[in-house]
Amino acid sequence: MIPKQSFLIGAATAAHQVEGNNIHSDYWTQEHMVHTDFLEPSGDAVDHYNRYAEDIRLMAEAGLNAYRFSIEWARIEPEEGVFDETELSHYKDVILTCKENGIEPIVTLLHFTSPKWLISKGGWESDETPEYFARYTRYVIERLGRELHYVCTINEANMGIQVAAIAKRYMQQMMAKMQSGKSDGTVQMGLNLEKMMANQQAAEQERMELFGVTKTECFTSPRTPHGDEIVIEAHKAARTIIKELAPHIQVGLTLSLHDIQALPGGEENAAKEWAEEFTHYLPAIKDDDFLGIQNYTRTRIDASGILPVPESAEVTQMDYEFYPQALEHVIRKVAKEFKGTLLVTENGIATADDSRRVAFIEAALSGVQACISDGIPVKSYLYWSLMDNFEWQKGYSMTFGLIAVDRTTQKRTPKPSLSILGNLCRNMNQK
Ligand code: BGC
């Protein structure tokens, strides 16, 4: 049992990135297209589907007390209206294993992947999607709600709108990147823009054959303002159902939030960015119990727009600036406008040098502690990610994990950062 007052320190994963063989999902189909945007398919991933007990035990032994993971809609409802009891009981086992190990399970209902059938029906631009999401939520919460204290409805609700808004700038940036070898880290997930552009036309034809639609509106596809409304509606519908079935559950969504810094002359541009990324969601989330903050780096803006990473800066494998102070800045900014609990649901670094991961975590967590000392209600720090895993279009090339995985044997090797994070958890909860 986790004492109620504890500060939650743990790690996060998403089903598709770690479980393996998510065959009924939209991502699986896209990974296997001839004209795919993915560097490699997810395949067996890191076989967390079968090895979750070992992974949870490693977390507990290191001293972590929370695990954020997602339930995969495509497993629970592989065909429209057909719900799979066996998959449901799999997730029940994962939750119970967490509890047996003294780990608080924090469940996400949608982490980027959707069932393939949903995309064939118009996906995240279709007015019907909130109802489908609500039906799936009802099925899950009716059966698992009593075991849970925290549910994130949707991971990075703002991802699609972020992708859409910056697609143009990103293309320019990719051109610059090809020349200079650097990018500005403006999208906090692994994308492969060059490959995406080259494949576009041929891919359209193939999508038509596979999904029955030429434009696949997946969760992370560039989103229209109407699509943004649909995501918000889906969140609200899920929240209502969760509160009806299990009022004890704390509900919220998570947002991808950069530490947006205005340089002289860039104030207006920066305010616009922040409004798009965060402020315009306030009416939709004001009744939520918590907001999940997900941050990886900062973005500097001047009168001309977003600036590249400074020449002298250390960069991560994702080409983001190494800038762990960003988390504290984002928390302080969010806390001015959102009055509920704040959970840090993701913060992390892709690096081959674990000592840099340790430095990143220590700096980020001390920022969190400073916020808490100032009375900001931050209740968790969840590192992304528990294990090296499938970084979407970038495949397995990015190593975010506290645990390394040899994908030929699926052998786990904890990195020093895992036990260091565990010790930080013990220290914070002794105070
Ligand atoms: C996502 C994760 C992703 C991580 C690192 C976040 O955008 O929620 O799925 O792997 O960032 O890029």
Answer positive or negative: Cα dihedral of 407, 408, 409, 415.
Answer: negative
Three-state secondary-structure class, residue 140: helix
| Helix (H) / strand (E) containing 349 | none
pLDDT value for 195: 67
pLDDT value for 175: 65
396 lines ligand 1 (CB under 6 A): no
- The number of C-alpha atoms within 13 Å of 67 and in the hemisphere containing its C-beta is 30
pTM (predicted TM-score): 0.94
pLDDT value for 181: 55
Which amino acid, one-letter code, is at 21? N
Nearest Cα residue to atom 2 of ligand 1: 189
DSSP label at residue 315:
B
Rounded distance from Cα 152 to ligand 1 centre (Å): 15
Q: Are 10 and 64 in contact (CB under 8 A)?
A: yes
341 lines ligand 1 (CB under 6 A): no
384 lines ligand 1 (CB under 6 A): yes
Q: Are 211 and 119 in contact (CB under 8 A)?
A: yes
pLDDT tens track of the chain, all 431 residues? Answer: 566 668 999 999 999 999 999 999 999 999 999 999 899 999 999 999 999 999 999 999 999 999 999 999 999 999 999 999 999 999 999 999 999 999 999 999 999 999 999 999 999 999 999 999 999 999 999 999 999 999 999 999 999 988 887 776 766 666 666 666 555 555 667 766 666 666 677 888 899 999 999 889 999 999 999 999 999 999 999 999 999 999 999 999 999 999 999 999 999 999 999 999 999 999 999 999 999 999 999 999 999 999 999 999 999 999 999 999 999 999 999 999 999 999 999 999 999 999 999 999 999 999 999 999 999 999 999 999 999 999 999 999 999 999 999 999 999 999 999 999 999 999 999 86
398 contacts: CB under 8 Å, gap ≥ 6: 190, 317, 318, 350, 388, 391
Nearest Cα residue to atom 1 of ligand 1: 189
- For the CA of 348, the closest atom of ligand 1 is 5
Cα separation, 212 vs 22, in Å, equals 20
Three-state secondary-structure class, residue 9: strand
Number of helical H runs and strand E runs in the chain: 15, 13
Rounded distance from Cα 17 to ligand 1 centre (Å): 9
Three-state secondary-structure class, residue 170: helix
Which amino acid, one-letter code, is at 144? L
- For the CA of 189, the closest atom of ligand 1 is 12
Catalytic residues: 156
pLDDT value for 182: 56
Nearest Cα residue to atom 10 of ligand 1: 391
Closest by Cα among 96, 95, 92 to 106: 95
Q: Are 257 and 295 in contact (CB under 8 A)?
A: yes
* Segments in 145-277 forming alpha helices (H): 159-180, 193-211, 225-245, 267-277
